[in-house]
Structure 1
Amino acid sequence: MATSSTAPRPGHTDPAIIRNFCIIAHIDHGKSTLADRMLQLTGVVDARAARAQYLDRMDIERERGITIKSQAVRMPWTVPSDNEQGAEPGAYVLNMIDTPGHVDFTYEVSRSLEACEAAVLLVDAAQGIEAQTLANLYLAMNADLHIIPVLNKIDLPSANPEKYAAELAGLIGCDPSEVLQTSAKTGLGVEALLNEIVKQTPAPVGDADAPPRALIFDSVYDTYRGVVTYVRVIDGKLSHRDRIKMMSTGAVHEMLEVGVISPEPVKGSEIGVGEVGYLITGVKDVRQSRVGDTVTSQHNGATEALGGYKHPNPMVYSGLYPIDGDDYPTLRDALERLQLNDAALTFEPETSGALGFGFRCGFLGLLHMEITRDRLEREFNLELISTAPNVVYEVQMEDGSVHTVTNPSEYPEGKIAEVREPVVKATILAPSDYIGTIMELCQLKRGQLQGMDYLSEDRVEMRYTLPMGEIVFDFFDQLKSRTKGYASLDYERSGDQVADLVKVDILLQGEPVDAFSAILHRDAAYSYGVMMAGKLKELIPRQQFEVPIQAAIGARVIARENIRAIRKDVLAKCYGGDISRKRKLLEKQKAGKKRMKNIGSVEVPPEAFVAALSNDGAGSSVDKGKK
């Protein structure tokens, strides 16, 4: 039996005994549970402190059963001399990084891969390879990592390890017997996996005598200590009280603390070649610790930076407005604090005639948007209205000018030459029984089939090019419902295309309400107009005068509903008498209604905005993290 040993203090570790690896998988295939078993087996977490999904620190992660933030942890492991895997006996240091699985958090996975030499590719033995499994595998291959294939959940009654081992072996080009089989829940096979990690993962390579160079792969904000920067040291060493320089910004800081995570922070004197650790400099702005930046020393530092990677660009935009206008400063402070822990979140102030002051926020996807809003409401006690999500369009006018549109209210007036919309490369994995259903859905969403491959007799991989604007509405929900939950989806941005897009305005008494405007394909404009007009007719209370609700493209009205006026019975006190008196009273009332219609304004209660925008075709992504 392999045993754990006391973790060596940071700063005294030979790179030859270090193994840096990450765990990558589709959502809900058991990454966090496997990490729990590893923490217990290596003795880093004792039985009293142990809890399910130990590395998922946020309440929202634990409730939804998904990982949002990557976590790095250092574990000691002793390989016995009689191990069946053929690993070299001795004491080793394992640096494990637990990564998210959802497509919205791919940027978190890409950060983690930069700090590793190997990746454990985890596949559910009951579900097989899913779309995000492939996406993360390709990320790991592009980062030139060694892949260790593992089947998890082999204890389930529905598990089919032989079938999916062959599928996995065919995907990465190994023998099915080389695919490890584990049950993270029971701990079966985890010990053998740790020995295999020691055996197969290359030791980190670097020059201990060279000027220090360390790659920043994550940074988080701590209320008490400021920004905590996670780094992987490539060359040299970083010592306590050194003055360090960030190579992209040139900013110089003093290191107040240096150490490793095991799984709580362990303070040390230095970290050397191949080690994964953390730095604290007392800086309060996370933007000064840019992901992908290189840390070196101020004096005799490195001249050549490490190859970082690009900052993620927002793919979906939505407006966030407080229901109570007095909460605007609180919302601004909340977004600034949230951005310290989430470098992919962007926001800028915007004003809506209907909703007042708020912020236009950029997200990586619908789940990212929903989790951000959820955290704002929970952690800062805010009540928010969010507008329908939309993507970034480029509008070229006939005079040659180009406008970037992130909000329907920015859509330019005048003669438009063409509109370009972003497109994505989507990968859909599903049982072959649903091929026709998926093709029908993708054609409805203006998708183009790029190719199709059978992974096995009954599982197929379909590749489509789809407009991103269609993906961010109800595509995911429709895909799940049409395939009874069996299909999985992954997508990535792949340029843009010209499309026949129009702006649909919703008019109340002839005045456009910017919160309800949308940019849509011409074919979908009529159904959106009818749907919104019908919905608002039910939600807006009746006024003293008749209110027309219209949906229009430019000056052309495409749908209309009327909210009838509240009428007082002016004839109630007329008992008999001349008909001309009654007519005179009715004419007087009619003239008053007409005058009110000209000068009156329509009051739209906040509840109507919440109800109209909450399910406005955006599709609920509540269970997107689960499946």
Structure 2
Amino acid sequence: MERIRNFCIIAHIDHGKSTLADRMIELTHAINERDAQAQVLDNMELEREKGITIKSHAIRMEYQRGGESYMLNLIDTPGHVDFSYEVSRAIASCEGALLVVDASQGIQAQTISNLFLALNHDLEIIPVLNKIDMESAKVDEVSDQIIELIGCKREEILAVSAKTGQGVDRVLDAIIDRIPAPKGDENAPLQALIFDSVFNSFRGIIAYFRVMNGTIRAGDKVKFFSNNHAYEADEVGALRLGLSPEKEIRAGNVGYIISGIKDSSEVRVGDTITHVENPCTQAVAGFEEVKPMVFAGVYPVDADEYEDLRASLEKLKLNDASLSYEPESSLALGFGFRCGFLGLLHMEIVQERLYREFDMDVITTVPNVSYRVYTTRGELLEVHNPSGLPDVTLIDHIEEPTILAQVITNSDSLGVVVKLCIDKRGVLQNQVFLTSCRVELTFTMPLSEIVFDFYDKLKSISRGYASFDYHVNGFQTTTLVRLDILLNGDRVDALSSLIHRDYAYNFGRKMCEKLKELIPRQQFDIAIQAAIGAKIIARETVKAVRKDVTAKCYGGDITRKRKLLEKQKKGKKRMRQVGNVEVPQEAFLAVLKMD
């Protein structure tokens, strides 16, 4: 155990975590040349396309120094705020963390957020200044920022270039010298924390764990604390680039277990594995349950695929513990699920993974957050979707979740960033100049205001400089209304949304205009209306495709033409009563991307 080191890499998005992991893997020869590629740990096709890490990835490396062999267990983590739950799980499994900061961009909001997560778990922090080979690198200025942030000495900061490999060997030496060896007793009863799991269609569920105390061997009878079910450990092993079977995994180490479990509900992230015969007395203090920020309905395009969608979501939840879902039904879309996500990027990734990994084509409804509704009878209701809102006469008041938002930007775009936050009902709490040209803003604002396009707008108005991070900060009373969309007088509940009264008129008008472009023309007029209760606030009409019934009338009395037009009018009236309007998938997606 003296020669084991467990550590993770934390940083803001795009500061070079995965590239640094590549160089370390190369230096320790944990991978052969044939398998080598850029971002080797990002093994999901989606991660490579978007250039971001979505999942935490664990790998074991062996490093020789001074005639001794050290075992380094690395967990590479995502940088985006939507995947912070992945980061918290990686941190709970480690004793130390590499804090990577981009020398050209400096400290960003997510750097600070992830750092505090690590400090709460008493991790040893090793500051690493990356991208020093770039012309725009500000080594001294960013070093000062790091010293101010974590209070380290200047010589403790490791300047490296993950791209060229310069200085990476010093990082490996610092991991061995500074990060403490794991504590634990190999002879005590087995106590292992599950930090991730994946579904394999041939072998069942593969659970990844970190052994706190004891030793787990292949063939042992083990049980999970949460359900008390007993299993046989068919195979245990180490997480190298692939799965590497071993006879035993001792205290302080990271590994995987295959026990032929097929039911995904039996394996929970944060659960404890112990022996059946000699169990430990208490579970490892696992991770707190994740709180979803954004809710949206997910429905199969074909109603017959409802059970397939349920199975797909179960398997996806194994790999993505921050996803939550429960069944719901809609008049327009049939049976589906109300899913909870950590943010809009998380929602987009889940939708894409369902399509790629499970071949599930789904419709996602307008995302919203959960509100607390206090009724005149003194009841408290939690409302996730617009259809759950009680009648206006029964509502006493509504509370919405608020967040404490932290924005770091350059002083040039300070004015436009403040204006954007105030337009989103934000209240400025604090403004601190980190350096002469970088400022940190703290706002309290409603969570519902950042759900749609806040992050995209922030990036565009600050030319990519501003970084954003947030955490939930309680509830506040608000004036909400339910905005319904009616097609020919029928409500489409999948397009309904809960919105602040001040913004309802503009939003309703834009929605009607957008739907007019997207709904295909029929043989009859389609009335698109936005309504609050019984009051119509906006209307657009998709005109009918008309057949020229008077084409055969040449000459003669006008009454001949009028007779034909009256006949057509009656037919259209009857068609409108029986015809139904199909809302295309693009219409649901367009509402999400509406400016």
What TM-score do the two structures reach when normalised by structure 2?
A: 0.94
Task: Output the CA distance in 2 between the equivalents of 1:96 and 1:619.
Answer: 41
**Aligned runs of 1:180-219 on 2, under 5 Å?**
180-219=158-197
1:613 to 574, 588, 593: 588
Q: CA deviation at 1:596?
A: 4.9
User: Do residues 491 (structure 1) and 482 (structure 2) align?
Assistant: no
**Aligned runs of 1:69-108 on 2, under 5 Å?**
69-80=55-66, 90-108=68-86
Q: CA deviation at 1:356?
A: 3.4
Q: CA deviation at 1:437?
A: 0.9
Instruction: List per-residue Cα deviations over 1:12-70 (Å, max 9, x = no partner).
Output: xxx11111111101111111111111111111112222111111111111221111111
User: Do residues 302 (structure 1) and 280 (structure 2) align?
Assistant: yes
1:247 to 225, 229, 236: 225
**Aligned runs of 1:437-516 on 2, under 5 Å?**
437-516=416-495
**Aligned runs of 1:519-598 on 2, under 5 Å?**
519-567=498-546, 590=569, 593-594=572-573, 596-597=575-576
| Distance change (3 Å), C-alpha of 1:309 and 1:488 | same
Give yes or no for contact 1:424–1:467 (8 Å, CA) kept in 2. Answer: yes
Instruction: List per-residue Cα deviations over 1:242-292 (Å, max 9, x = no partner).
Output: 222222322222211222112332222222221122222221234323222
1:113 to 82, 91, 97: 91
Q: CA deviation at 1:548?
A: 2.3
Instruction: List per-residue Cα deviations over 1:440-475 (Å, max 9, x = no partner).
Output: 001111112221222222111111222111111010
Give yes or no for contact 2:367–2:592 (8 Å, CA) kept in 1. Answer: no
| Distance change (3 Å), C-alpha of 1:214 and 1:508 | same
DSSP-derived class of the 1:453 partner:
strand
- Matched pairs, number: 594
DSSP-derived class of the 2:450 partner:
helix
User: Do residues 601 (structure 1) and 576 (structure 2) align?
Assistant: no
Instruction: List per-residue Cα deviations over 1:499-534 (Å, max 9, x = no partner).
Output: 111100011222111121111111111111101111
User: Do residues 59 (structure 1) and 38 (structure 2) align?
Assistant: no
Question: Which structure exhibits the higher relative contact order, with contacts defined as CA atoms closer than 8 Å and separated by 6 or more residues?
Answer: 1
Instruction: List per-residue Cα deviations over 1:566-587 (Å, max 9, x = no partner).
Output: 4555655666666666666655
| Alignment partner, residue 215 of structure 2 | 237
Q: Name the amino acid aligned to 2:455.
A: F
Task: Output the CA distance in 2 between the equivalents of 1:262 and 1:222.
Answer: 17
| Alignment partner, residue 414 of structure 2 | 435
1:422 to 388, 401, 411: 401
**Aligned runs of 1:132-531 on 2, under 5 Å?**
132-415=110-393, 416-531=395-510
Computed over aligned residues only, the root mean square deviation of the Cα atoms, in angstroms, reads 2.2
DSSP-derived class of the 1:230 partner:
strand
Q: CA deviation at 1:372?
A: 1.2
Q: Name the amino acid aligned to 1:162.
A: D
Q: Name the amino acid aligned to 1:538.
A: E
Task: Output the CA distance in 2 between the equivalents of 1:191 and 1:270.
Answer: 30
| Distance change (3 Å), C-alpha of 1:557 and 1:270 | same
Deviates more, 1:483-492 or 1:311-320: 311-320
DSSP-derived class of the 2:268 partner:
coil
Q: CA deviation at 1:157?
A: 1.3
Task: Output the CA distance in 2 between the equivalents of 1:176 and 1:307.
Answer: 35
Instruction: List per-residue Cα deviations over 1:142-174 (Å, max 9, x = no partner).
Output: 011011000011111111111101111110001
| Distance change (3 Å), C-alpha of 1:134 and 1:584 | same
- What is the percent sequence identity of the aligned residues? 54
Task: Output the CA distance in 2 between the equivalents of 1:327 and 1:461.
Answer: 48
| Distance change (3 Å), C-alpha of 1:457 and 1:509 | same
Q: Name the amino acid aligned to 2:396.
A: A
Give yes or no for contact 1:388–1:618 (8 Å, CA) kept in 2. Answer: no
Give yes or no for contact 1:153–1:184 (8 Å, CA) kept in 2. Answer: yes
Give yes or no for contact 1:70–1:97 (8 Å, CA) kept in 2. Answer: yes
Q: Name the amino acid aligned to 2:587.
A: A
Give yes or no for contact 2:196–2:318 (8 Å, CA) kept in 1. Answer: no
For structure 2, which runs of at least 5 residues remain unmatched after alignment?
Answer: none
Instruction: List per-residue Cα deviations over 1:90-137 (Å, max 9, x = no partner).
Output: 332111111111111111111111111111000111111111111100
For structure 1, which runs of at least 5 residues remain unmatched after alignment?
Answer: 1-14, 81-88, 621-627
| Alignment partner, residue 123 of structure 1 | 101
Task: Output the CA distance in 1 between the equivalents of 2:484 and 2:83.
Answer: 33
Task: Output the CA distance in 2 between the equivalents of 1:337 and 1:546.
Answer: 45
Task: Output the CA distance in 2 between the equivalents of 1:239 and 1:576.
Answer: 97
Q: CA deviation at 1:79?
A: 2.2
Task: Output the CA distance in 2 between the equivalents of 1:240 and 1:570.
Answer: 81
DSSP-derived class of the 1:339 partner:
helix
Q: CA deviation at 1:178?
A: 1.8
Task: Output the CA distance in 2 between the equivalents of 1:305 and 1:427.
Answer: 35
DSSP-derived class of the 1:456 partner:
coil
Q: Name the amino acid aligned to 1:471.
A: I
Deviates more, 1:402-411 or 1:104-113: 402-411
1:43 to 23, 26, 29: 29
What TM-score do the two structures reach when normalised by structure 1?
A: 0.90
DSSP-derived class of the 2:355 partner:
helix
DSSP-derived class of the 2:451 partner:
helix
Deviates more, 1:110-119 or 1:213-222: 213-222
| Distance change (3 Å), C-alpha of 1:262 and 1:571 | closer
Q: CA deviation at 1:185?
A: 1.1
DSSP-derived class of the 2:37 partner:
coil
DSSP-derived class of the 1:16 partner:
coil
Q: Name the amino acid aligned to 2:398.
A: V
Q: CA deviation at 1:397?
A: 1.9
| Distance change (3 Å), C-alpha of 1:248 and 1:592 | closer
Q: Name the amino acid aligned to 1:615.
A: A
Give yes or no for contact 2:264–2:314 (8 Å, CA) kept in 1. Answer: no
Deviates more, 1:482-491 or 1:312-321: 312-321
Instruction: List per-residue Cα deviations over 1:204-234 (Å, max 9, x = no partner).
Output: 1223332221222222222222222222222
| Distance change (3 Å), C-alpha of 1:380 and 1:115 | closer
| Distance change (3 Å), C-alpha of 1:228 and 1:513 | same
| Distance change (3 Å), C-alpha of 1:539 and 1:64 | closer
DSSP-derived class of the 2:414 partner:
helix
Q: Name the amino acid aligned to 2:586.
A: A
